[in-house]
Structure 1
Amino acid sequence: MYFPVEWFYGRWTDALVTINTDDYAVAKHLPIKRVYYIPGVGTDIENVERIAKEQRQKLRQEVRRNLGINDDEYLLLSVGELSERKNHATVIKAISKLNDPKIKYVIAGIGDEETNLKSLIKENRLENKVQLLGYQTDLDGLYFAADLNVFISKREGLGLGGLDGVAHGLYIIGNGNTGMKDYIKSGDIGLLVKDPTDVDEVSRTIAFAKQGKKKVTGKGLEVVREFDYRNVNKIMKSIYQKEFM
């Protein structure tokens, strides 16, 4: 639907900047003079790396205590608006299907789907397992407190909420049909689902991730270093210089 419109207006476009490799590949088929790729809009990976191990553990313990999460429980986190696009409902259904007493789930965000999500939680009797946290400012603490980032939006350009979690060392489940695959490049970083609305697939993937209990470290963090905002800004600056100077 959108490609013909993009192609039509591409005839008057001198340069196009894309933020994922899929869009970059498609843009090459448009009648645009110059097409650029940048690795997203950037996240602060270096700053997160400066947070000491002791501080990370302290934040983890404090946030889990405030949320009522026991040490032996496995905490899933989703960060993003409460909308159909962000697809929190499928995660809730998957948790219900798993029926694992050790799994807990928190969602940080606000949006129009709040009432529907609350009804879904009540319908599946998950009031003691799923919490809607509303708008949150302390995402560092939440990322360190969680064991798995479930970020299976139906559509994403890149998925900054997923990338931020990876920067904090949080293992992720993402949607393989989005730009997330640009940074979820191996099982050391996370897992990709083919159909983010398939409750069976999502529940199986959550169970598999829980069994491994992985953290993103070492080589995994090196892979996503290109998405640090300092590198993105450097690339963007070079594009501006080429186009306007």
Structure 2
Amino acid sequence: VSFGSELSNRAPTFDMDLSDFMDGDKPISYEKAKEYFSQDPSQKWAAYVAGTVLVLMTELGVQFTDSMSILVSSSVPEGKGVSSSASVEVATMSAIAAVYGLNIAPRDLAILCQKVENHIVGAPCGVMDQMTSACGEANKLLAMVCQPAEVKELVSIPTHIRFWGLDSGIRHSVGGTDYGSVRVGTYMGRKLIKCAASDLISQSFPSTPTQSCDASEEYEKYGVDLLKSEASLQYLCNLPPHRSALPY
């Protein structure tokens, strides 16, 4: 059951049989789950909630033999860029973990919830929102790095400081086409930088494996050390392999 459904284009309730998540004696693939939740646009929201069950089954081998009822009630505004999807994923998985006695560290729970959004919802998001929802604390800022997902520290906010958010009126969705296109463009840019850096290094060190691409002279002024760093830089990609491994 989802409260507040009348404010958006989604059905107020969603029901499914847990056996729908099984393919014989194994959980179904994430791709099949994505197709399952995409059948009815008004119920696609359930992927954020029920998807946590499949991820726990797949990644941790959790077996759910009893039925469960989940009530979703949130004051986090939807489509405003304030992590509404991550918050419902983290809240749902945390509740399930508590009921079933699963001991999942906050960081691990955040990464599992990211899998829900990446593979079942189909949104190519990073892990920042899930990490904030799982590891953050009230009245504190969370200092972290996203690759890998690591919390550096929690910074207390002075009592005389207030933060205000202004609604631009423009809806935001990490599951939208525009967001995915930006992510693809980012990976393409990273590939070009690595390729150009490798090519420049090969000009100075012929024994270094080369990649075929056009190199820009602008990189020469940064020095070999930076070029080596760029050539070996790993950028974790959450998009399907066929999207990120294209010959740019």
Question: What TM-score range do you get, normalising by the shorter chain?
Answer: under 0.3
With structure 2 as the length reference, what TM-score do the two structures score? 0.25
Greater strand content: 1
Relative contact order higher in (CA < 8 Å, ≥ 6 apart): 1
